[in-house]
Structure 1
Amino acid sequence: MNNWSKLCLALSTFVSVQAMAQKPPLNHDVYDNWKSIGTANLSKSGKFVYYTITPQEGDAVLELKDQKNTLLLSVPRGDGASLTSNDAFLVAGIKPYFSAVREAKIKKKKSDEMPKDSLLVYNLKSKAAPLKYADVKSFKMARNSREYVAFLAESKASADTSAAKDSTAQAKKTPAKSKTKTILHLLHLPTGDTTNFVGVDQYEWSADERQLLFSKKGEEKDSVSLRDAGLYLYSVGDKSLKKISHGKGTYKQFSFSEDQSQLSFVAFKGDDKTLSKEYKLYYYTANQDSARLIGQQATAGVPQNWWVSGDAPLRFSENGQKLYIGLAPIPLVKDTTLVEFEHAKLDIWHWKDDYLQPQQLVNLKRDQTKSFSAVVYPQSSATIIPLSDETFNRVITTDSGNEEWVLVTSDFGNRISSQWDLGTKSNIYKVSTKSGQHKLIASDLNGQAYLSPKADYAVFFDRATASWSSYDLANDSKKSLHEGIAVSFVDEENDMPALPSAYGVAGWSKDGQTVYINDRYDIWAFDLTGKKKPYTITNGYGREQKITFRAVNLSREENPRYRSTYLSDKDQFLTAFDETTKENGFYSVNAGKSNPKKILMRPKTYRKVEASEDLAQVIYTKEDYQHSPDLYINSAKMDQERRLTDINTQQAGYNWGTAELVHWTTPNGHDASGILYKPEDFDPNKKYPIIAYFYEKLTDGLYTYQAPAPTPSRLNIPYFVSNGYLVFAPDISYETGYPGQAAEEYINSGMQHLARTNSFVDSTKMGIQGQSWGGYQVAHLITRTNMYAAAWTGAPVVNMTSAYGGIRWGSGMSRQFQYENTQSRIGQNLWEARDLYIENSPLFFMDRVNTPVVIMHNDQDGAVPWYQGIEMFTALRRLQKPVWLLNYNGDDHNLIQRQNRKDIQQREAQFFDHFLKGKPAPVWITSGVPAIHKGIDWGLSM
């Protein structure tokens, strides 16, 4: 290279470096407009793609494109779009403007005064301007829609004043009140014609689009409305309307049989003010004048003091012979004659309760609507056959529901142990849908039960023995599925005291005779008849190459009963994850006859995969740390990729960053990995402050995009990287009984490795940040080392002895299971391992802390009792250590309210900027914000 060329190269390098240096860092004003792909859909034909682009705050946009990336339609605020099955029409909702909703909330408008949705209809063939309909409450299309959409809209009409003696004079004195009516519009898409039904409240399509079922509830003070109240069936073909059930009431749980010849529903026809509403079950076919009653409290088979549930969905078996329903105990009702303020309000906790009282209260609404499965044969029998009762917790049926056998599970008698075990042992029964007879087929199972697609076999996973087995339901015989196979089918990396979980069922063969089960890397086929030996459909290639294969069902089966059930015998589509490189991609495999065939592997992450009906076209989003997840369309061979979106072009205008994998060896000789994030304008000759962010294992997300966003409480990695920080995310492996030491082993050694091997790491300006379990580890680390110049902990447990007996208020569950069997990893109860609970409790070692630390813990934390944060704060305050506590009033474990998320981003940046970069401290750090200034001064100024 001559001198001139060298000079040109030097100048171009200088210019490119200068261009990078000139990019501004991210600031807190950028969040709202950063976008993501919401829903993404490919038409069955593969000709059209429609998707939403959603900003973090503001109005989304719906776009419709063809497979050549031609934009056909853009719909501001479009939502919930669907294409008719013939690709002729796009139907979508339109949300109100974000600004209009915000303004209405500011003015505290009532729900019926809030801005309403609209409906859009677009003709893909004519490409005429879309039709729009206002004040829409809901819309529905049939499963096999082609020509119609039904939508419920509000219409305001003036009240009738004709009954007044002098209507004109009366009108002058009292303006007519507008009265809102709901109208069901049946829109014929090709012509735009509508058929309207006034006063409708519930409606449902038959799958074939030939019948529309709807109810009119009726109003007490309107005689015409009361006369019209009932359930109607509208025949789309001959435009005939038939009232199939009479009377004012509530009609719901509409269900058509698969061939659309039968329908069923439940109805309560009494007074709405009745506290105890008895719903009754009705059945209708075309040869009946009206729906007939087939199930109520007095029906044969219904247990004493039980009735038909109004909350359980109804489902016909595929052959139409059976109807699955729900039964429920008749509830006790409150005595409304009692004077409320004269009676005590209390909760009574009993040591023999199945579930703790707080858990019962959290689940109260669910329990009030809980139902228990039963079956009725509406064509031939008036008897209801219960399949389960309150001692059972799950009923497992086949997709079709045709078969005689179902499985029911019961953890009755074992529920109290969930307080410390989390999971419970269950008895498994086969139940006949013909007689209701129960037969025990597995006892005290700690695991899962599955039913084959034709109910020939049950398949069990037992955590206690780490084994899979099958049970022949016809012959009542059980056998092991993988005896003699030297491969583990449970989590090989489990580092919790609890028994390891399985990798799960991947699917079934079409004939239901083969179950496919995952191991860590491969997918195994087990012939339930015993005629074939087990084999891996991935030929063991996954374990050999350390690639995790998982089956994906790309079938476009419209009937939801059969989605994602079956695997293909040939050319099965697989997702792939390379455990070593962290790359992702796709393979195909032909039933174990050869190694899986690579379609695509890249240093990317792929999501939202969907295929056309002929599997010729696929769509997906693709991302890595540097590239936002955009939508692409490709051939099934992945050789014709076309990019459909470019949603965050503004990113190019900011200093971004890079992500790389780092490896080191811990002091105890363990191989360790982590992700190191660097600024885009990284200069190896500079010194950078570094923040470690951690939880458990994070490196599988090496190629995951992280949008700059006000996060619930985790570290906003792109913001800090953009603003001149290094961020390090190490993986952590744990040893039972010593979770705190594991944090030291991996986090501290990883940070020391980076400082020792890289001159650009400023070892005097190291920070740590963690939330929840990460927050605990932050609290522990600062009691064991002074190597960190600043620490931020969110919702930390600092006193395991008091937290052990606490409640997770979000679920109402005891926290004991967490310490004995799961994340906190002590492995024993408090009385067996008192010393370990103390050793792993940072509170008892707060006198060693010399690191400035911020605690975020909120008063409505549903996972970690917020007194844990208070215990840490008051301890450090008593010891006169620099500590701050942030309590976002009324917010949860992870921040829910966006204004709070935005606030914490600013404070976290200010905190680390001060202690790791030497910038001036804001008022909230130097002197705090007294209660008298709350809501007036937020203390953010310097």
Structure 2
Amino acid sequence: MRKYLLLVWLLCLTATFALAQETKPMSWKDVATWKYMPNSAFKLSPDGQWMAYALIGIEADGELILQKVSDPESKKTFPIGNTTYPSFEFSENSQWIAFKEYPKFKEKEANEKAKGKPLKEKLHLIKLGTDDKKTFEGVGGFSFNNDAASHLLINLPKEGNGEQKGSDVLIYHLNSGKSQNLGNVREHSANKAGTHLAYSVDAANSQGNGLYLLTLSTNSIQVLDSDEAGYQSLNWTEKGDAFAALKMKKDKKYKQDHGILLGVKNLNNPQVILYEPAKDSTGFDQKYTISQNRRPMWSEDLTRLFYGIHPLVLAEKESPKKEENKDSLATAESVKIAKIMADTTIKSIADLQKAIAKLDSGKVNGKKSNEAKKPEMTIWHWQDDRLQSRQQVMENMDKNYSFWAMYDVVAKKHIALQDSSMRDLNILPYQHFALGSDRQKYELDINLNGQNYQDFFLVDLKTGTITPLFENFYMPSFASMPRPSTDGKKLLYGKDGHFHVYDILTKTHTNITEKLPVSMINTEDDHNVKDPLQNPLGWSSDSKYVLVRDGWDIWQIPMSAKESPINLTQNGKKDKIRYQYRFMLDPEEKGIDLSKTVYIRTYGESTKKSGVATLSPAKAGLATGPAMLIWEDANIGGIAKAKKSGVFTYTKEKFNEPTQVYLTDATLANGKKVTENAPDASNYAWSTGVKLVDYVTTKGDSLQAALFLPANYVAGQKYPTVVYYYEKLSQTLHNWSNPGYNGTGWSPSMYTSNGYAVLIPDIVYKMDDPGMSAVWAVLPAVDAAIKTGVIDENKMGLHGHSWGGYQTSFLITQTTRFKAAAAGAPLTNMISMYDLIYWNSGGGNMSIFEASQGRFLGGPWENWDAYERNSPIYHVKNVQTPLLMLHNDKDGAVDFTQGVEYYNALRRLKKPVIMVQYLGENHGLGKLENRKDYSVRMMEFFDHHLKGLPAPDWISKGVPRLKLGEHLEERAF
């Protein structure tokens, strides 16, 4: 018996060992076919009875998983081809699901090589609970007709290159299974109830162009307007009881079409309101027209229509072609010959050729006789509010800019609501008022020093009257931005470290936080701005309360002086729990309904735990306190609710456990995992776990670092480690990192899978010392992490990208503790970088340095020592760490010259540096082949320097230009 038990034990041990041996480090080639569930690729049917989610892969074909929530055995899998963005929808009555199937990866690859026509996509329609599936070939977009869910609307891509902008729309009747086709449809949109379909027709030669309304229950079509014009910009009201549209008519005199406004209401017996500005010479400035660049909309009470207007620009006149006059040509030739014969300076054939060429060039007295061509140039002027580069980036937006205007349907009157002196306008809820703003007076200074000021105005939407509200209003952060109450009659705004409310009707300002025992200032914001506030949660649905945060707790502030503010969460600051934000469970809500349970995301600042708490309605002016529903050593988020039932879901992940969706009820208790994200995860070795490392910086700040253990970690052994950073990131301790070809080459789960520990420390900043701040934070973090026994202090590397790349390039000038460093797109000379351009936006870098990430007081000429002290280039002689640098020639964030400057300085000093440059790439790598290549190279670089693996030739010798093509071909996969 003992022998038998021993044999069983040995067999079990062998099986366990074999199972353990089956897992392997994930290779970069494995990433290509790795399948995962992307964000937002999980959906519940409105009744909560069905669920669907998609799995996709970079170079793999995806699949859609569909099942009844209560019956795992009902699970079915459908192929969806190769896509990055799966497209699937449940009908509102929870009877149908429709999803797209894209071409397979191999089909795409073969088609790309053959340079074939675009491949077609399919749409599948399934009746839930049955095996019925109908497929539609060659489709574009699709949608159900909203609440009614009686029809499926399918866009069919336009065939050919005709002038018409319309294409076919297939309407599939879900109950009868019959189809009908609407031809030449430019736009279509169903109302919320799903009873009516508004659509516009744009056909060849404008034949039949018009605006139409289809009543879906009777299949009857009404022509609302028809003309040789373009109909567009359909926009239903939220209730779906009316819609607005534009009719655009061409006029050869102008560059733009003339806009005509259409409003449709009373759907059963449609009433069409038409406003044509060209016929309103007294009420509408004829230098303007209605703009096609802004969708028109009805007011809530259907008494007014809002739309955009913009100036008309005359078309450029073509110069008439002159007919050739043969007699005059002959005369001109005779004059030329006479001039040449009279020229006594002609002594040789060469002189004669020069004289003829001079006459043929058309120059008369040193000037061209024909019309001169315009030069292509830009004039940069010191008084430009925006740099010319910024103006170029914004050119199309500026050209297409329009001002809000209003048409009073009863009075039949047009009212312009803004002009060039008030560039922005936000129409407030219920359309009683609008909030206007303008920053033109301050734009030059904003672009220079980054300190944000604006003027604000109130616009009465009954009369169009404009009243100044704030002048020179300072906004240290977005939290100070005025935001309307749910009823549109009050504004919450931040000023001087407090929140205030402006009552539009009584014209009174009230400081609503000055009597609180806590501050609303975000003291952890270490940028060069004054008193930035914590972001508020917003207004209650009845506009009687505002919910704000002090960074820990949530406070309910009443608008009535008879009530007192309430700390709804109570224990946040005491227990170091941050009540961060509210989960919005109803996408159609208007404000925070305090009569219902409110779900709040929670985060433990020192523990890194996360979860969900609920706030119940306050009773008798007293808060009942939060109820913690979930509180785990994991990353909890994504709370969602089925639209028409009490079924809830939430997501949960850990650094070594892929994100999964859990099904539950309103209590969030006993969550049941219902997804199989990353189904191949068990085949690979992942990080064994995480550690939270506490440390104190050189300047006395208490911070934390996330330490991710390598796969197959054995206590007592030390491991090669890559240190990665970007300001504060310890909150990512429990975040799953999906293996992938990142645009920066970095994938922490890939490094831990391949035997590395990864340390991610927090960095806080001192003004005028961004580089030294990294030294003061990172080195103590490393010291504390080494004490865990995980890190091999002789095999440590550094990596960061952009701002993290700057910190990497600076750290290696201050310490020799690291054996290798990889810096992506680093800033290397703060002095020269200050005056360069952030080409992606076209703006200058100076505002970034003075009020954002740079954290300097003033420019280099008034703070030279600080800029020089924190610039890697000025300490380059200290570098002893081998450096791999990624910098691309079209980097629109950190200018390519920053990488070149540092590379050349290191090379001049014969320091070990390699710079890789991917042609045409921006700040991060976009092309898949480039992302693959750099991901592999960076790990090879660390493998050599930290693991002692043989160096590939590109590291040890470099690659000559003439052999680069062969080198890249050998490595491609």
Instruction: Name 2:591's counterpart in structure 1.
Output: 565
Question: What is the 5 A alignment of 1:632-671?
Answer: 632-657=662-687, 658-671=689-702
TM-superposed CA distance for 1:332, in Å, is: 5.9
TM-superposed CA distance for 1:844, in Å, is: 1.1
- My pick for the range that moved more, 889-898 or 17-26, is 17-26
Distance 1:506 1:155, change over 3 A: closer
Instruction: Name 1:310's counterpart in structure 2.
Output: 292
Contact in 1 for aligned 2:245/2:295 (Cα 8 Å): no
Q: Secondary structure at the match of 1:342?
A: coil
Contact in 2 for aligned 1:265/1:283 (Cα 8 Å): yes
Residues 429-469 of structure 1 deviation map (CA, whole Å, 9 limit, x = unaligned): 1110011111112222223111112122111112xx11111
Distance 1:215 1:73, change over 3 A: farther
Contact in 2 for aligned 1:691/1:726 (Cα 8 Å): yes
Instruction: Name 2:378's counterpart in structure 1.
Output: 347
Residue 267, structure 1, aligned to residue 247, structure 2: yes
Opposite residue 547 of structure 1, the aligned amino acid is I
User: Aligned partners of 1:218, 1:8: CA distance in 2, in Å?
Assistant: 79
Contact in 2 for aligned 1:537/1:591 (Cα 8 Å): no
Instruction: Name 2:110's counterpart in structure 1.
Output: 103
Contact in 2 for aligned 1:248/1:270 (Cα 8 Å): no
TM-superposed CA distance for 1:412, in Å, is: 2.4
- My pick for the range that moved more, 193-202 or 336-345, is 336-345
Opposite residue 961 of structure 2, the aligned amino acid is A
Distance 1:529 1:296, change over 3 A: farther
Distance 1:681 1:500, change over 3 A: farther
Distance 1:49 1:930, change over 3 A: same
User: Aligned partners of 1:82, 1:40: CA distance in 2, in Å?
Assistant: 10
TM-superposed CA distance for 1:21, in Å, is: 6.0
Of 696, 700, 705, the residue aligned with 2:736 is 705
TM-superposed CA distance for 1:911, in Å, is: 0.7
User: Aligned partners of 1:342, 1:799: CA distance in 2, in Å?
Assistant: 41
User: Aligned partners of 2:260, 2:26: CA distance in 1, in Å?
Assistant: 60
TM-superposed CA distance for 1:899, in Å, is: 1.4
- My pick for the range that moved more, 242-251 or 299-308, is 299-308
Residues 475-497 of structure 1 deviation map (CA, whole Å, 9 limit, x = unaligned): 11111111121312121211222
Distance 1:801 1:98, change over 3 A: same
Distance 1:501 1:143, change over 3 A: farther
* Unpaired stretches in structure 2, ≥5 consecutive residues: 321-369, 476-480
User: Aligned partners of 2:241, 2:22: CA distance in 1, in Å?
Assistant: 70
Residues 19-55 of structure 1 deviation map (CA, whole Å, 9 limit, x = unaligned): 6466321211111233123422223322122222222
Distance 1:208 1:12, change over 3 A: closer
Contact in 2 for aligned 1:385/1:433 (Cα 8 Å): no
Q: Secondary structure at the match of 1:649?
A: coil
Q: Secondary structure at the match of 2:250?
A: coil
Q: Secondary structure at the match of 1:344?
A: coil
User: Aligned partners of 2:233, 2:371: CA distance in 1, in Å?
Assistant: 35
Instruction: Name 1:281's counterpart in structure 2.
Output: 261
Instruction: Name 1:805's counterpart in structure 2.
Output: 835
Taking structure 1 as the reference length, the TM-score comes to 0.90
User: Aligned partners of 2:417, 2:191: CA distance in 1, in Å?
Assistant: 27
Instruction: Name 1:458's counterpart in structure 2.
Output: 491
Q: Secondary structure at the match of 1:137?
A: coil
Instruction: Name 2:66's counterpart in structure 1.
Output: 64
> Considering only CA atoms, is the larger Rg found in Structure 1 or Structure 2?
2
Contact in 1 for aligned 2:22/2:683 (Cα 8 Å): no
Question: What is the 5 A alignment of 1:71-470?
Answer: 71=74, 73-77=76-80, 79-109=86-116, 113-124=117-128, 127-154=130-157, 182-220=167-205, 226-258=206-238, 260-270=240-250, 275-285=255-265, 291-297=272-278, 299=280, 301-303=283-285, 305-331=287-313, 342-378=373-409, 380-401=410-431, 404-447=432-475, 448-462=481-495, 465-470=496-501
Opposite residue 37 of structure 1, the aligned amino acid is P
Instruction: Name 1:49's counterpart in structure 2.
Output: 51
User: Aligned partners of 1:731, 1:115: CA distance in 2, in Å?
Assistant: 47
User: Aligned partners of 2:473, 2:278: CA distance in 1, in Å?
Assistant: 35
User: Aligned partners of 1:400, 1:65: CA distance in 2, in Å?
Assistant: 42
TM-superposed CA distance for 1:896, in Å, is: 1.5
User: Aligned partners of 1:185, 1:839: CA distance in 2, in Å?
Assistant: 66
Question: What is the 5 A alignment of 1:579-728?
Answer: 579-592=605-618, 593-613=623-643, 616-657=646-687, 658-713=689-744, 715-728=746-759
Contact in 1 for aligned 2:231/2:246 (Cα 8 Å): yes
Residues 793-840 of structure 1 deviation map (CA, whole Å, 9 limit, x = unaligned): 111111111100011111111111121111121222222101111111
* Unpaired stretches in structure 1, ≥5 consecutive residues: 160-176, 221-225
Residues 569-621 of structure 1 deviation map (CA, whole Å, 9 limit, x = unaligned): 34211111111211111111123522201111111113332102466211122
Instruction: Name 2:25's counterpart in structure 1.
Output: 25
Opposite residue 677 of structure 1, the aligned amino acid is F
Distance 1:267 1:59, change over 3 A: farther
Distance 1:746 1:227, change over 3 A: closer
Distance 1:259 1:674, change over 3 A: closer
User: Aligned partners of 1:332, 1:906: CA distance in 2, in Å?
Assistant: 56
User: Aligned partners of 1:888, 1:275: CA distance in 2, in Å?
Assistant: 40
Q: Secondary structure at the match of 1:90?
A: strand
Residues 193-237 of structure 1 deviation map (CA, whole Å, 9 limit, x = unaligned): 1222222222121222222222221213xxxxx432222222223
TM-superposed CA distance for 1:912, in Å, is: 0.9
Q: Secondary structure at the match of 2:107?
A: helix
Distance 1:615 1:150, change over 3 A: closer
User: Aligned partners of 1:818, 1:124: CA distance in 2, in Å?
Assistant: 53
Distance 1:327 1:667, change over 3 A: same
User: Aligned partners of 1:909, 1:273: CA distance in 2, in Å?
Assistant: 62
Taking structure 2 as the reference length, the TM-score comes to 0.87
User: Aligned partners of 1:142, 1:389: CA distance in 2, in Å?
Assistant: 38
Q: CA RMSD in A?
A: 3.1
Residues 535-590 of structure 1 deviation map (CA, whole Å, 9 limit, x = unaligned): 2222x222222112245354435xxxx44632333421111111121111111112
Of 964, 967, 972, the residue aligned with 1:934 is 964
The number of aligned residues is 902
Contact in 1 for aligned 2:660/2:677 (Cα 8 Å): yes
Contact in 2 for aligned 1:154/1:183 (Cα 8 Å): yes
Opposite residue 248 of structure 1, the aligned amino acid is E
User: Aligned partners of 2:685, 2:943: CA distance in 1, in Å?
Assistant: 17
Opposite residue 445 of structure 1, the aligned amino acid is F
Opposite residue 220 of structure 2, the aligned amino acid is S
Identity rate of aligned residues, in percent?
A: 25
Contact in 1 for aligned 2:191/2:241 (Cα 8 Å): no
TM-superposed CA distance for 1:782, in Å, is: 1.0
Q: Secondary structure at the match of 2:652?
A: strand
TM-superposed CA distance for 1:391, in Å, is: 2.9
Contact in 1 for aligned 2:829/2:872 (Cα 8 Å): yes
User: Aligned partners of 1:570, 1:242: CA distance in 2, in Å?
Assistant: 44
Distance 1:301 1:144, change over 3 A: farther
Distance 1:156 1:858, change over 3 A: closer
Opposite residue 75 of structure 1, the aligned amino acid is F
Opposite residue 617 of structure 2, the aligned amino acid is A
User: Aligned partners of 1:217, 1:181: CA distance in 2, in Å?
Assistant: 5
Distance 1:500 1:623, change over 3 A: farther
Opposite residue 817 of structure 2, the aligned amino acid is M
Q: Secondary structure at the match of 1:37?
A: coil
